[in-house]
Structure 1
């Protein structure tokens, strides 16, 4: 049985008084997330939306119904009833999110990039935090566990690596449990003022 994983991604901005002044006060005092992906909602079990609707790319193929094979993903509002080891019927991470879709990836034995996106208009000298909620949708049956590597890189031609975190094996639970496995703090103080975006990628 291949490992499966669900992912919900949030990027949050934090302001610190000692940060540089290349952004207006209105930009630097906002502590709410500056970028949030929730994958929408709907009554159909599988969403017809594609990565382009959420401005990201992936090396995985999209499934719009069961089964979801190795190296495939789907946007679904509940874990489908296709295997006795899955947490069938479990919902997404967001509280009170009726019919909210989540990103379900069937991890390929050969690592791939399941999510790559760009965030624009970041401020030089400010501190940012990248975080992601992940879960293993397989119950405690002693099966292979997924792991994810997150990277944050500049959008310059050399794609300089400025932050990375490896989740290690994502554990199984008797009930599906979402955990904030990833928190990466980073600054842009070393970049030119006209570099105001970054891309991040993850492999599973």
Structure 2
């Protein structure tokens, strides 16, 4: 189940109902809300063309666990992957978020991976590492691919 929403609904009485997207000063902004199911752990899949081979990029997003802390359900755990578009779909880079913490108020954290392109076309993926537990619901906002300068390598806030 997924939806693009302005605020988190609370159909099960366990989510952070009425919580807003991450983007500040955007009252009409949307976030991507996903209740990960066993059927398909893939959350996000987007093809990018015309990248400069050898250049550093960062694939990132803001992620929040939409389940309230007091409900004690499983925590989302997402793997960011960058794959080459070729016959074997070589993994260029991958990194997991670890368990996205449940909080008393919905809290956004930025996660992502820097990578150097080896192909001009890649697929950006977000895949759930936990499809078994109840409560595996996540909000995602401000998905971004950007040129990553070497000055950013010391910025620990860009990866999670």
User: What range describes the TM-score normalised by the shorter chain of this pair?
Assistant: 0.7 to 0.9
1:201 aligns with 2:131: no
Q: 1:110: how far off?
A: 5.3
Structure 2 distance, partners of 1:93, 1:157, is 37
The match for 1:103 is 32
Task: Decide whether aligned partners of structure 1 residues 130 and 200 sit closer, same or farther in structure 2, where only a CA change above 3 A counts.
Answer: same
Structure 2 contact 7–19 (Cα < 8 Å) conserved? yes
Task: Decide whether aligned partners of structure 1 residues 168 and 183 sit closer, same or farther in structure 2, where only a CA change above 3 A counts.
Answer: same
Q: TM-score, normalised by structure 1?
A: 0.58
Structure with more relative contact order (C-alpha pairs < 8 Å, separation 6 or more) = 2
Output one character per residue of 1:96-152: Cα deviation in whole Å (capped at 9) or x when no partner: 112211110002145511110111111112111111110001111211111111110
CA RMSD between the two structures:
1.5
The match for 2:10 is 81
1:143 aligns with 2:67: no
Structure 2 distance, partners of 1:81, 1:161, is 37
Higher share in strand = 2
Gaps of at least 5 residues in structure 2 are 129-160
Output one character per residue of 1:34-56: Cα deviation in whole Å (capped at 9) or x when no partner: xxxxxxxxxxxxxxxxxxxxxxx
Task: Decide whether aligned partners of structure 1 residues 175 and 88 sit closer, same or farther in structure 2, where only a CA change above 3 A counts.
Answer: same
Structure 2 distance, partners of 1:163, 1:137, is 27
Output one character per residue of 1:136-187: Cα deviation in whole Å (capped at 9) or x when no partner: 011112111111111101112221111001112110111101101x221111
Structure 1 distance, partners of 2:98, 2:77, is 5
